[in-house]
Structure 1
Amino acid sequence: MSPIVLTSELTCPECGFKKTEHMPLEFCQWFYDCPGCHRLLKPLAGDCCVFCSYGSERCPPVQRGGMCC
């Protein structure tokens, strides 16, 4: 089994701003305020969190092969 990656680069679909963020292990992050344009990002349909929708890495529970929140 591969080690769990705990950081993910979020990319805003509105302005393209990228920032590497630490992913929480204990909960899903449903909202993220883009530092570039201040758009409030929400998960896309079928995704559990902003990391699964806009990140370079999926959230830790999904990386483990499970379901997220």
Structure 2
Amino acid sequence: MTLHSLITCPRCGTAKLETMPTDACQFFYDCTACGVRLKPKAGDCCVFCSYGDQPCPPIQDARSKGSSRICGA
């Protein structure tokens, strides 16, 4: 399981390597460069699934088990 994701701000393009929580989805992320508050895109459970290069740990776990569940559901 990957615990780090490179999250990229869609507004300014700043990318930052962040540690993802292992027990929950992160719904908000504040860009450290421009300050915009990111929220998940429709259909995604968290900001890492929407803007990161790796999905969140709960989704990684579900995929490794062959489940298509959305985390938090």
**Same fold flag (TM > 0.5):** yes
Distance in 2 of aligned mates of 1:46 and 1:39: 20
Alpha-carbon distance, 1:61 to partner = 1.1
| Aligned pairs for 1:1-69 within 5 A | 4-64=1-61, 65=63, 66=67, 67-69=70-72
Whichever structure has more helix as a proportion of its residues is: 2
Q: 2:59 touches 2:71 (CA, 8 Å); kept in 1?
A: yes
Alpha-carbon distance, 1:26 to partner = 1.3
Structure 1 stretches (4+) deviating beyond 6 angstroms?
none
| Percent of pairs with identical residues | 56
Distance in 2 of aligned mates of 1:5 and 1:26: 13
TM-score (norm 2): 0.86
TM-score (norm 1): 0.91
Structure 1 unaligned runs (5+)? none
Q: CA RMSD in A?
A: 0.8
Q: How many residues align?
A: 66
Structure 2 unaligned runs (5+)? none
